[in-house]
Copies of this chain bind each other. A is one copy, B any other.
Amino acid sequence: MVGSAAVIRRQQFLIRCLGGSSAGCKNLGYTTIKMQSLMSGGGPSLEVDAISILRSITPSLDPSKHKGQAGKIAVVGGCREYTGAPYFSAISALKIGADLSHVFCTKDAATVIKSYSPELIVHPILEESYSVRDEDKKSVSAKVIQEVDKWMERFDCLVIGPGLGRDPFLLDCVSGIMKHARESNVPMVLDGDGLFLVTNCLDLVSGYPLAVLTPNVNEYKRLVQKVLQCEVNDQDGTQQLLSLAKGIGGVTILRKGGSDFISNGETVSAVSTFGSPRRCGGQGDILSGSVAVFISWARQNAVKKESSMSPTVLGCIAGSVLLRKAASHAFQSKGRSTLTTDIIEHLGRSLEEFCPVSR
């Protein structure tokens, strides 16, 4: 019952977002949402598209490959206050199939994140204002950026923001890391406090096609206010999302919600597979880690059929549908008790269902 009510609500929401008429779509190069099928309830379901995309970019497991070829991800986040978020993001990347997952965080956070799992490589290199004297800030910042730089070329994708906090000095260092990542053409997924940073300094991502922003309701609102200088308008949600992505120079935006909407300023796609009604904190971190892996794979494995969509869009669609499937499995098993850790435990099974190893 929960499922069917949710489907109806979701469809109503989608229709609202699309402006209620096919004219609302006229500027879109590609949508995975077909108004006809939504309004009639017939036609191919949205989930089939997302699953096909996930399948098309997920590499086969080839025994001739060696360590690293299935993905090397790094999460920049974790400070005195937050340790769970970067862990969720980094471990999700491994559970989906990445070979190596790094975390760059503060010393305080590092001991804890390391202790969560021996599978992660945790670098205790970020610094917060309270631990650095004003006169040392320049040299410390240079050292932090240099430490990450040593690894930069090896990473297939960065996730910036999970549990990053808002310490001004730390964010300043992270801005430097982002500039270097961009120079090295490394894709970046921005979430949480990474979005706070970017919203206040759009130049960090503006015009960079390998940047992905994954805002929730409030983060999206702040982005719209900053970039479009207006309020969120769900009556014309699709057009506004397109305008927002265009306004930041063609970055990819994954607008999280009852349905996830994804745009790079040229196309808009939606994923509305039913996930779970639980809204426990940390699910966005699973998404950011997953999207990072799928983007890496999409850049290697995008098939011709999907070539009208960019690797960042493909990665967002795959990450979205996988999280929803895993959340659904976890909720079936744990109900109200479902936590983010439970969802992570279902990532592997969910991916196997979409994309069996033996295919």
> Could you tell me which A residues sit within 8 Å of B by CB distance?
1-2, 6, 9-10, 60-70, 80-85, 87-88, 94-100, 108, 111-112, 114-124, 216-217, 257-258, 274, 276-283, 334-341, 347-349, 351-352, 357-358
Contacts and interface: CB of A to CB of B under 8 A. Distances in A.
Contacts of A278: 61, 70, 97
Given A281-B99, A337-B351, A81 B122 contact: yes
Contact of A87 (B118, B276, B334, B349): B118
Nearest to A84: B118
A99 B334 CA distance: 15
Contact of A97 (B117, B120, B274, B336): B336
Q: What are the 10 tightest A-B residue pairs by CB atom distance, in nearest-first order? A: A337-B348, A84-B118, A61-B277, A6-B63, A97-B336, A67-B279, A112-B114, A63-B277, A115-B115, A87-B118
B118 A116 contact: yes
B97 A337 contact: yes
Nearest to A97: B336
Contacts of A340: 118-119
Contacts of A279: 65-70, 99
A352 B334 CA distance: 9
Contacts of A99: 279-281
A357 B339 contact: no
A114 B70 contact: no
B123 A81 contact: yes
Given A9-B63, A87-B118, A119-B281, 20 more contacts: A62-B277, A63-B276, A63-B277, A64-B258, A65-B279, A67-B279, A67-B281, A67-B283, A68-B279, A80-B124, A94-B339, A98-B280, A99-B280, A99-B281, A118-B282, A277-B357, A335-B352, A335-B357, A336-B348, A338-B348
Nearest to A100: B281
A276 B66 CA distance: 11
Contacts of A280: 67, 94, 98-100, 119
Contacts of A66: 216-217, 257, 279
Given A64-B9, A67-B216, A348-B337, A119 B80 contact: no
Nearest to A65: B279
Contact of A2 (B63, B82, B117, B276): B63
A81 B1 CA distance: 48
Contact of A337 (B80, B258, B347): B347
13 contacts: A61-B336, A62-B277, A63-B258, A63-B277, A66-B279, A67-B280, A67-B281, A69-B279, A84-B120, A277-B357, A335-B348, A337-B347, A338-B348
A348 B315 CA distance: 34
Contacts of A87: 118
Nearest to A280: B99
Given A88-B118, A121-B81, A358 B1 contact: yes
A74 to B, nearest CB: 13
Contacts of A94: 280, 339
